[in-house]
Structure formats: structure tokens, C-alpha cells
């Protein structure tokens, strides 16, 4: 049965041609794959499944800083690309007939899920970089599962459109002076320019040499006490005043407690390590303190031990964290007592904080009060 076509708009501009969609799709696909891979890596580091625990690498020391920087950079770059891609293909919304077959219906449903999950994913990610949690659902799990839905949708989409994509993959040479070609070039150049613009004005939150162009990122990584930003303030954590009788408690085969002076009397080591927040900013600092490995050995535990670290913090999602053995035995992993030549500022975890290489910022626990060998 042929439905009569209602008076729908028709689109003739080359900006809506498949070739344009394919060119933008390639850029968008590349950004999304980088974003997906680095995001997955971040989830695994932050919350490793049991089978992976013993294989998490504590090196390269700057690894997480780079991958999480890339995650946020590629996610932000994907926003104008997705906008451009949707604009290029939106005439498809006016296709007639709207459904040609069961397969066609499924394909359209798939595209709807893909677009919806992608928009939500980028939106929640962007708001997360602003630490603006306006939704009632947990960010991390939602962001994780939406990514899988979007990936599945993307793979189905690419498979369904495979022949068409392949047909338009290469530049079509025959009509160099063809009508609208200049228009298309201009459009692609404008998209490229907006991607570059949003990237260079936000990447400075994790790329030091772009720092001065960092106009729109929520953080300037060099602003804050002792030249470092603060995510969780001492006031919010209820740790502005540390009890005068503070002791570090270490539990293990041979448990013990140490005062700050006793910790300072132990071998002190230095490490230049970044805080790399999952929200995208990162900043390097020179830390000084006691090796976690020395504290573990002193408790009579082997270097295969995992640790549970507890903060003085009254309550908060990162009051208690766990540290895998590969980090605990790394000589760069410190219970830091000083940063950049000064005693830790209360905002940075006075009297003691964890700092370890290749590790998400959320796990660099501040105001440490207890280490437990697991
Ligand atoms: N006890 C405790 N430590 C914490 C947090 C927290 O909420 N509680 N936040 C973490 C997060 S999310 C980051 S990015 C870093 C930030 O460190 P800074 O405030 O010293 O820059 O500290 C981490 N340490
Ligand atoms: Mo963070």
C-alpha cells in the first residue's frame, strides 16, 4: 500500500548528502572510540574487578593523567561533531514512508537509541566535569552503562550502513566545480574550527602548555592552596581541625600506631606525581613522605598485600578506599606529609595523604588515619 506523501520539506543541499555524513562520522567515530577506551580504562582502574586486581599497572606514573585528559578532551570534541552529524542527517526524519519494513523499523529504532544514549552520555559527562550533579541517579554507573549502549548502537549502525559508508569513504573526484562543493568544504572547515576551538580552550585543565588558553574549563589546575586545586574541601569533609592526638594506625600481622613526629623520623622519599581527577583536570606536584611499602613491611605484611585506607573524613564516598598490591609496593607510592616543599595544607590532606602513580585522583585519599592490610 502506498501512503500519499504529506507535504514534508525536501532537502537538496550537499550538506545533507551521505558523503558529508561519512566525513563527519569518521571524525566523530574516532573521538568516540578514544573516549570509550579511555573511559573503560578509568572505570577499571577506579573499581577493578577481582580478576584484574593483581594486574593493574602502577606505571607509567603519568598514565592515568594522559588517558583521563584524553577522555575529557575527546568527549568535549565529540559534542560539536555530534551536533554537526545530527544536523547533516536530520532530513532523514522526514523520510517517506516512515517505515518500509520490519528491518527498516528496527534500524530506525536502533538509531533512536544510539542518538539518545550518545546525547545523554555527552551531557552527563560534560556536567560531571563541572561537578554539577543535577540528576537523581548515580553518575558513574549511568555513564558506564550508557557508554555500552551507545557502543552497541554505533556498531549496529555502522554495520547496517556499511555498504553506504564504504561507497562514500573516498573523495568523489569527478565534479570539482560541482555546485555546493565549496559550501560543503566551508561547512567541514567550520566544524573543524569549532572542534579546535572547544578543545584548545578547555584542554588546558590537563595539558600544561595549553594552560594559558584554558578559558572555559571549570578548573585552572594551578589555582588553589600550594598551587593545586581542591575537589573535596576540608570543611566539607569535616577535617578542618585534626585532633592533637592524631596517630596513623596500621593494621596487619604486627599492628602499630605512629605519631606525625614518628612518621617524620622514618626514611623520607620524594616523588613528582600528578593528581589526575576523573573530572578531567590534572596537576603535578612534588610530594615528600614515607613509602607505603615501608609501612606495610613494618607491619610484617608481604608485598603482595592489598590495603584498605581510611580517612578522618566524617562521611563521603571516598572516605574509605582500597589500594592494589602493585601500587602499595611501588617505591613512588607515598604517604605524603609535604607537598611542593611545605607541610600539607589542610585542604590537601594534612596530616597525611596517599599519592600513587597512574592512579585516579579519587583514590588519592586525603586526611589518612588508618591503613589496613587485607
Ligand atoms: N578523604 C578524601 N580524599 C579525597 C577525596 C575525598 O572526597 N575524600 N577526593 C579525591 C579527589 S576526587 C581528588 S581529584 C583529589 C583532589 O586532591 P586535592 O584536593 O588535594 O587537589 O583528592 C582525592 N582525595
Ligand atoms: Mo577527583
> Residue ranges of the domains in the chain?
14-213, 225-373
Enumerate residues lining ligand 1, CB below 6 A.
Answer: 228-232, 237, 275, 277, 311, 313, 316, 318-319, 348, 361-362, 364-367
Give me ligand 2 centre to Cα 79, in Å.
22
So what's the pLDDT on residue 173?
61
Mean pLDDT within 141-162: 95
So what's the pLDDT on residue 291?
98
Q: First-to-last CA distance in the chain? A: 70
Q: Ligand 1, from 231, 280, 285: best to mutate by most atoms within 8 Å of Cβ?
A: 231
So what's the pLDDT on residue 217?
87
pTM of the model as a whole: 0.95
pLDDT at 176 over 70: no
Q: Atom 11 (ligand 1): residue with closest C-alpha?
A: 362
Residue 48 binned pLDDT confidence (cut-offs 50, 70, 90): very high
Q: What is the pLDDT of residues 250-269, one digit of tens each?
A: 999 999 999 999 999 999 99
Mean pLDDT within 71-78: 98
Q: Atom 12 (ligand 1): residue with closest C-alpha?
A: 362
pLDDT at 23 over 70: yes
* Extended strands (E) in 235-340: 248-251, 256-258, 269-276, 282-291, 307-311, 320-323, 334-339
Q: Which residues of 165-175 are buried (b: 16+ CB within 10 A; e: fewer)?
A: beebeeeeeee
Q: Atom 15 (ligand 1): residue with closest C-alpha?
A: 361
**Kind and range of the H or E run holding 355:** strand 353-355
Mean pLDDT within 42-59: 95
To the nearest whole number, what is the mean pLDDT of the chain?
Answer: 94
Q: What is the pLDDT of residues 151-160, one digit of tens each?
A: 999 999 999 9
Enumerate the β-bridge partners of residue 322.
308
Q: Atom 16 (ligand 1): residue with closest C-alpha?
A: 231
Give me ligand 1 centre to Cα 258, in Å.
23
Spelled out in words, what is the top-level CATH class assigned to the domain 225-373?
alpha beta
Contacts of 26 (CB under 8 A, 6+ apart): none
Q: What is the pLDDT of residues 195-251, one digit of tens each?
A: 999 999 999 999 999 999 999 888 888 889 999 999 999 999 999 999 999 999 999
pLDDT at 106 over 80: yes
Amino acid at each position: 500500500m502506498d501512503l500519499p506523501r504529506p507535504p514534508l520539506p525536501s532537502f537538496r543541499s550537499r550538506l545533507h548528502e551521505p558523503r558529508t555524513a561519512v566525513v563527519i562520522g569518521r571524525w566523530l567515530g574516532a573521538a568516540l572510540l578514544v573516549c570509550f577506551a579511555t573511559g573503560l580504562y578509568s572505570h577499571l582502574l577506579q573499581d577493578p574487578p577481582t580478576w584484574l586486581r593483581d594486574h593493574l599497572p602502577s606505571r607509567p606514573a603519568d598514565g592515568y593523567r594522559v588517558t583521563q585528559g584524553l577522555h575529557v578532551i575527546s568527549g568535549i570534541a565529540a559534542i560539536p561533531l555530534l551536533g554537526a552529524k545530527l544536523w547533516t542527517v536530520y532530513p532523514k526524519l522526514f523520510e517517506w514512508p516512515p517505515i518500509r519494513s520490519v528491518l527498516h523499523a528496527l534500524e530506525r529504532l536502533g538509531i533512536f537509541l544510539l542518538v539518545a544514549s550518545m546525547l545523554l552520555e555527552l551531557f552527563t559527562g560534560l556536567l560531571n566535569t563541572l561537578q554539577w550533579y543535577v540528576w537523581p541517579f548515580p553518575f558513574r554507573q549511568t555513564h558506564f552503562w550508557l557508554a555500552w549502549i551507545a557502543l552497541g548502537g554505533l556498531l549496529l549502525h555502522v554495520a547496517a550502513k556499511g555498504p553506504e559508508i564504504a561507497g562514500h569513504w573516498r573523495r568523489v573526484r569527478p565534479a570539482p566545480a560541482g555546485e555546493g562543493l565549496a559550501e560543503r568544504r566551508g561547512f567541514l572547515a567550520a566544524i573543524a574550527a569549532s572542534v579546535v576551538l572547544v578543545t584548545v580552550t578547555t584542554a588546558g585543565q590537563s595539558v600544561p602548555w595549553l594552560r594559558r588558553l584554558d578559558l572555559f574549563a571549570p578548573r585552572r589546575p594551578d589555582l588553589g592552596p600550594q598551587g593545586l586545586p581542591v575537589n573535596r574541601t576540608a570543611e566539607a569533609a569535616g577535617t578542618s581541625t585534626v585532633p592533637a592526638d592524631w596517630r596513623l594506625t596500621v593494621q596487619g600481622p604486627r599492628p602499630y600506631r605512629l605519631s606525625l613526629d614518628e612518621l617524620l623520623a622514618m626514611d623520607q622519599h620524594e616523588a613528582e606525581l600528578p593528581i589526575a581527577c576523573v573530572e578531567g583536570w590534572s596537576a603535578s606536584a612534588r610530594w615528600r613522605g614515607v613509602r607505603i611499602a615501608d609501612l606495610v613491611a613494618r607491619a610484617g605484611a608481604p608485598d603482595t598485600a592489598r590495603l584498605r585506607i581510611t580517612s578522618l573524613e566524617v562521611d563521603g564516598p571516598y572516605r574509605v578506599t582500597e589500594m592494589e598490591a602493585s601500587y602499595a609496593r611501588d617505591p613512588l607510592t607515598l604517604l605524603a606529609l609535604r607537598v611542593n616543599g611545605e607541610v600539607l595544607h589542610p585542604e590537601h590532606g594534612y596530616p597525611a595523604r596517599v599519592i600513587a602513580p597512574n592512579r585516579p585522583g579519587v583514590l588519592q585519599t586525603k586526611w589518612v588515619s588508618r591503613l589496613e592490610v587485607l
